[in-house]
Amino acid sequence: MSLFGKYKEEFDKKYGTSETFVAFLPEHLKYNKVVELRKKNGSSNEQYYKWQFLYSIVNSGMYARDFIGTEVQFPKGNKDSAPIKLDAAIFDDIEWFGHYQKYWQNNDLDSLEWLKQHLLVALEFKKEDAKNVAEVWDKQLKSYMNESRKDPCFGVLYDTERLFLFKKEEKSFVRYSDEYNVKGLASKTSELSLLVPDPYVNLPDFNTLISKGHSKKIDITRQKIKDLEVISGIQSIQINNSMSSILKMMDRVGLVNQKGFEILI
């Protein structure tokens, strides 16, 4: 079981029948809000899955609570328009809440720019059984990620315990794990394999995301198996085509045998 999955089960055991939950993260500018976890018919609502996820990533140690806010708001271009509201946001600096207060209480525009430069992850929570993933991605989460000045920036959609991870990289908006992107960074929404959620083991921790934002020269002679990236869809096609060409050449020279495969390996 993944670390996230372990603490998700712990949340369910503690709060699976609870009516309310005291938020341990700020909601906009307030702390300790009492959250309703049930619909009128007694079933779990969207807030249940929101706090299930946040409880799991914090209590597992994957993310520290001081970097996370909920119902985080960014203004739209038109001052009369309602602000953009992120269900949750993770910043890369512990000072984020002070800047958030300065903007919303004092209209400090430097603080707003600081927040955009340090927005690491935008999160959206749903209880729709993953029936509208493409629409939520296109109309909501992608625009939330676009508030960030960071490259890469990351996005999470958690819909009724189904996990979908995204990234904004080189002005492209794609899945976090490249194997889902049929055409790599050029993949459009229809090419992101959105019918397939991420396994919980794909969920990166805070340090992993921070490290992806710091490019550095890699010494491939020192890399280990754990350092290798997952092969993407487009890379898989290229590898298959190359292997096919090699095997055809081996067949022409009579090396489709044990000796030939030893040479290939």
Predicted confidence (pLDDT) per residue in 56-73, tens digit? 999 999 999 999 999 999
- Please indicate, yes or no, whether residues 217 and 235 belong to a single structural domain of this protein: no
Cα 106 to the center of its chain, rounded Å? 31
Q: Are strands 34-36 and 68-74 parallel, antiparallel or unpaired?
A: unpaired
- Please indicate, yes or no, whether residues 10 and 57 belong to a single structural domain of this protein: yes
**pLDDT tens digits for range 213-233:** 864 444 545 555 545 555 544
If one counts the domains in the chain, the total is 2
77 occurs within a structural domain: yes
- Please indicate, yes or no, whether residues 167 and 52 belong to a single structural domain of this protein: yes
Could you tell me which of 68, 39, 59 has the C-alpha nearest to residue 127? 39
What is the rounded (10 degree) CA torsion for 170, 65, 27, 204? 30
What string of DSSP letters covers 199-237?
Answer: PGGG---HHHHHHHTS-----GGG--GGGPPPPPHHHHH
How far apart (Å, rounded) are the C-alpha atoms in residues 243 and 91?
Answer: 43
165 occurs within a structural domain: yes
Least confident of 18-32, 196-210, 225-239, 251-265: 225-239
170 occurs within a structural domain: yes
Q: Is the pLDDT of residue 265 over 70?
A: no
226 occurs within a structural domain: no
What is the rounded (10 degree) CA torsion for 176, 178, 180, 185? 90
180 occurs within a structural domain: yes
How far apart (Å, rounded) are the C-alpha atoms in residues 35 and 37?
Answer: 6
**pLDDT tens digits for range 144-195:** 999 999 999 999 999 999 999 999 999 999 999 999 999 999 999 999 999 9
Tokens of 151: 């490259």
Q: What pLDDT is recorded for position 234?
A: 45
Q: What pLDDT is recorded for position 63?
A: 99
Band of residue 256 on the pLDDT scale cut at 50, 70, 90: low
- Please indicate, yes or no, whether residues 260 and 189 belong to a single structural domain of this protein: no
161 occurs within a structural domain: yes
Q: Is the pLDDT of residue 21 over 50?
A: yes
Q: What pLDDT is recorded for position 80?
A: 82
Q: What pLDDT is recorded for position 253?
A: 74
Q: What is the mean pLDDT of residues 2-19?
A: 97
- Please indicate, yes or no, whether residues 88 and 155 belong to a single structural domain of this protein: yes
- Please indicate, yes or no, whether residues 211 and 250 belong to a single structural domain of this protein: no
- Please indicate, yes or no, whether residues 138 and 253 belong to a single structural domain of this protein: no
- Please indicate, yes or no, whether residues 154 and 245 belong to a single structural domain of this protein: no
| Helix (H) / strand (E) containing 143 | helix 142-145
Domain that holds residue 209: 3-221
- Please indicate, yes or no, whether residues 93 and 131 belong to a single structural domain of this protein: yes
171 occurs within a structural domain: yes
How far apart (Å, rounded) are the C-alpha atoms in residues 260 and 255?
Answer: 5
3-state secondary structure string, 28-94? CCECCCEEECECCCCCECHHHHHHHHHHHHHHCCCCCHHHEEEEEEECCCCCCCCCEEEEEEEECCC
- Please indicate, yes or no, whether residues 81 and 28 belong to a single structural domain of this protein: yes
- Please indicate, yes or no, whether residues 76 and 193 belong to a single structural domain of this protein: yes
- Please indicate, yes or no, whether residues 258 and 215 belong to a single structural domain of this protein: no
